[in-house]
A and B are shown apart, each in its own frame.
Chain A
Amino acid sequence: MWLLSVIIVVVPIIYGMSSCGWSIQAFVMPSHSPPKIDFHVESSGLRFEDKQLLPVFRVTNLGEVRIVFESLNATVYGPDGEALAPAILYKPVVSQPNSTEALILKVGFDEATFRKLPSYFEGRERVDFEVKGVASIHVFASKVTAPLSISFEVSLTDIIKMVG
């Protein structure tokens, strides 16, 4: 009886190995094609609200899964590398595959930093500011914490509008 049990266990495995060309590696190697997860962020303008700068970005979902940008914990840096103000996500953004959504940040400048901004424009019409921090993103049912580094351009006209 035990011999029959052994045969019944061994025969399917031998048959399976033969169908894999007797390659143990091919027989036991897992295969998985994960969905593409990728997105692209680029600056698309500025908005102003209550002396707050709202840089607007365009986020394009180049992947196959839905991505939810839930929050952002970042700092805005000036052209001289000095930390100027904190930046947070204005509101969560749901990005479906093959779609483009607006991602808006909220940058809270204090009075001192506000007064310093025009100094960056000496001899220049436009200046790049960099946002560096950590984004909290939802992909499938997982919370993903990823570093984020994006930049946006501000013109002297924008500063004048903000000062108002």
Chain B
Amino acid sequence: MKLTKTLLLNHKVNLIGLASSLLLFYTALSNRAWWVVRGGSGGEYTFLADVSPFNIVLEVLGKPVTIPIIPYLCLAARLSILLAATTIFVGSLLAGKTWSKPMMSLNGLVLPIIFIFVLYTGLSLAKLYIGVSIPMYGESTLNYLVSYRGSGVVTETPVTASLTEEYWIAFVAGTLSALARIVHSKPAPQER
């Protein structure tokens, strides 16, 4: 109770909520990738992808791959997190009001979790339907068979993939928003 009182500044301001909202603002406004994959090495890449919920860059053989739905999905994700950050920020400043509790959104935590799930699903589908095996984390070699002038040509590409610092910052922001919601839920002690 003493800790809750401290974190809520005597049930007036939710400090954890403020911290998480600031991190969520940073996350939503940053264009840095959460997950990167490189096919190749030494500065020359057969393919590359820089993926985050707010910005996706895909290149194969030096030329971009465009999917019309992507910018709109990224905009939706960015607006969703900006809304969450705003409501958490306002709710944190009004911790003493009972109606501020619904403002402590969990979208900031849901997004990094959904991101990993979608990434895993996407890579699994790519392996199933295109025969392209790309790791979610680590190094591997991608062997791919293409047809060229009626003959089978085997390509071998070293692949490295990793989650970036940006992902973990977003995850921490989301975790803090969940903690802020828990702390926000603690009722103020009755005045004697």
Whether the Cβ atoms of B46 and A140 lie closer than 8 Å is yes
Q: Which residues of A contact B69 (CB under 8 A)?
A: 13, 16, 27-28
Closest residue on chain A to residue B148 by CB atoms = A146
Instruction: Write the A120-164 contact mask toward B (1 if CB under 8 angstroms, else 0).
Output: 000000000000000000011111111100000000000000000
Chain A residues closer than 8 Å to B87, beta-carbon distance: 1
Q: Which residues of A contact B102 (CB under 8 A)?
A: 1
* Contact between B68 and A28, CB atoms less than 8 A apart: yes
CB distance from B164 to the nearest CB of A (A): 21
Asked whether B61 lies within 8 Å of A34 as measured between CB atoms, the reply is yes
How close is B17's CB to chain A, nearest CB, in angstroms? Answer: 15
Instruction: Chain A residues near B118: list those with CB within 8 A.
Output: none
Contact of A4 among B65, B67, B83, B153 (CB under 8 A): B83
Q: How far is the CB of B187 from chain A (nearest CB, A)?
A: 21
Q: Which range holds the interface residue count of chain B?
A: 35 or more
- Do residues A32 and B154 form an inter-chain contact, with CB atoms below 8 A? no
- Is the CB–CB distance between B63 and A8 below 8 Å? no
**Which of B8-16, B34-42, B165-173, B175-183 lies at the interface with chain A?**
B34-42
Docked-complex contact B153 and A145, CB < 8 angstroms: yes
Contacts of A30 in B (CB 8 A): 65-67
State the CA gap A141–B44 with chains docked (Å): 6
| CB within 8 Å of B: which A25-71 residues | 26-35, 37, 65
- Interface range, A side: 20 to 34
Does any Cβ of B come within 8 Å of A12's Cβ? yes
Q: Are B156 and A142 in contact (CB under 8 A)?
A: yes
**Interface locus among B19-27, B71-79, B132-140:** B71-79
Q: Quick one: CB contact mask for A1-34 with B, threshold 8 Å, 1 for yes? A: 1001100111111011001100000111111111
B80 to chain A, nearest CB (A): 6
Given that A9-B80, A12-B75, A140-B40 are contacting pairs, would A145 and B65 also be in contact in the complex, using a CB cutoff of 8 Å? no
The answer for the CA separation of A1 and B42 in the assembled complex, in Å, is 48
A141 touches B40 (CB 8 A): yes
**Is B190 an interface residue when CB atoms closer than 8 A count as contact?**
no
Per the bound structure, the CA–CA distance linking A9 and B76 in Å amounts to: 5
Which chain B residue shows the least CB distance to A138?
A: B44
Cα distance, A13 to B79, chains bound together (Å)? 12
Q: How near does chain B come to A104, taking the closest CB pair, in angstroms?
A: 23
From the candidates B39, B60, B158, name the one contacting A32 in the complex (CB within 8 A). B60
> Which 3 A-B residue pairs are closest in the complex by CB-CB distance?
A141-B40, A16-B72, A142-B157
29 A-B residue pairs with CB within 8 Å = A1-B102, A1-B105, A9-B77, A9-B80, A12-B72, A12-B73, A12-B75, A13-B73, A16-B72, A26-B68, A27-B68, A28-B67, A28-B68, A28-B69, A32-B66, A34-B61, A34-B63, A35-B62, A37-B61, A140-B46, A140-B61, A141-B40, A141-B42, A141-B45, A142-B40, A144-B154, A145-B155, A147-B151, A147-B153
